[in-house]
């Protein structure tokens, strides 16, 4: 029988690579507001989706979709396609629905994970923009670019801290304004497949467009190494914020 050492070595390398990929924990960018500093493994795709109900005074909003596709492009870069949500708003004299704009972006990991207890964080930067594609009620005729700095610390084997600082340029032509965002999230492994978090985040807008502040908490439940369910609930901390919101979602990696 003719031996093929080249083929054997190639197959062994592929098996080893697959084993390494499978060992990577599933890290999602939902359900909290804070984006992680982790990128999807090269060659793998991760889909995240969900639903949120929120109440603002006499108005109720349903957002279905929250769809984000994350594709591992290189060892440190992932491509991000946001298909976002179909939104329904109901209230006194109001009954509107429509699609949000699509978004396109990337996440670039600037540093590798560090041992638990390290004072230095893992760092990533996210660059994104919306694409004029949604309905008149929930979309914009202009792209809305944004950038976010994501930091994360593994405080211990079971506890982590994440933080974001971001800036977005929003609004229509002639009424453009900046939005600053900041967040901090404390995560904790509660069991082999159960996790929890609590989070504070805020949005500060220029030109009198209002500020928002929220407290948010939730749980994640891993059904497998590549599948996760989540639940969250939060409340606004000022008059311009939603009174409260609840949501649920899921993530799949393949």
Contact status, residue 242 vs residue 216, Cβ threshold 8 Å: no
Contact status, residue 72 vs residue 78, Cβ threshold 8 Å: yes
Q: Which of 35, 69, 24 is nearest to 252 (CA)?
A: 69
**15 contact partners, CB below 8 Å, separation of at least 6:** none
pLDDT of amino acid 23: 54
Q: Is the pLDDT score of 28 beyond 70?
A: yes
Pick the residue with more confidence: 113 or 147? 147
pLDDT of amino acid 18: 44
Q: Which domains does the chain have, with CATH numbers?
A: 26-253 (2.40.160.40)
Regarding pTM above 0.85, the answer is yes
Q: Is the pLDDT score of 189 beyond 50?
A: yes
Q: What is the pLDDT of residues 150-187, one digit of tens each?
A: 999 999 999 999 999 999 999 998 899 999 999 999 99
Q: Is the pLDDT score of 34 beyond 50?
A: yes
State mean pLDDT over 15-29.
Answer: 64
pLDDT of amino acid 117: 87
Distance CA 58, CA 247 (A): 19
């Amino acid at each position: 029988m003719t031996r093929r050492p080249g083929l054997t070595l190639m197959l062994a390398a592929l098996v080893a690579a697959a084993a390494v990929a499978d060992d990577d924990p599933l890290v999602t960018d939902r359900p909290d507001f804070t984006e992680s500093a982790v990128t999807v493994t090269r060659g793998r795709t991760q889909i995240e989706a969900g639903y949120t109900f929120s109440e603002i005074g006499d108005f109720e909003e349903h957002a279905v979709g929250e769809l984000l596709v994350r594709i591992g492009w290189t060892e440190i870069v992932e491509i991000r396609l946001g298909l976002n949500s179909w939104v329904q708003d109901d209230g006194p004299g109001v009954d509107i629905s429509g699609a949000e704009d699509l978004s396109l972006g990337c996440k670039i990991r600037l540093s590798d994970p560090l041992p638990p207890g390290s004072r230095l964080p893992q760092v990533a930067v996210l660059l994104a923009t919306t694409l004029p594609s949604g309905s008149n009620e929930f979309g914009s005729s202009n792209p809305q670019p944004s950038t976010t700095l994501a930091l994360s610390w593994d405080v211990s084997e079971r506890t982590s801290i994440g933080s974001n600082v971001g800036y977005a340029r929003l609004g229509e032509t002639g009424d453009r304004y900046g939005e600053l965002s900041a967040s901090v999230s404390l995560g904790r492994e509660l069991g082999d497949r159960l996790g929890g978090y609590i989070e504070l985040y805020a949005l500060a807008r220029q030109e009198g467009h209002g500020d928002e502040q929220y407290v948010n908490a939730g749980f994640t439940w891993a059904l497998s190494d590549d599948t996760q369910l989540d639940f969250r609930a939060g409340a606004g901390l000022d008059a311009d914020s939603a009174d409260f919101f609840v949501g649920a979602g899921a993530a799949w990696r393949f």
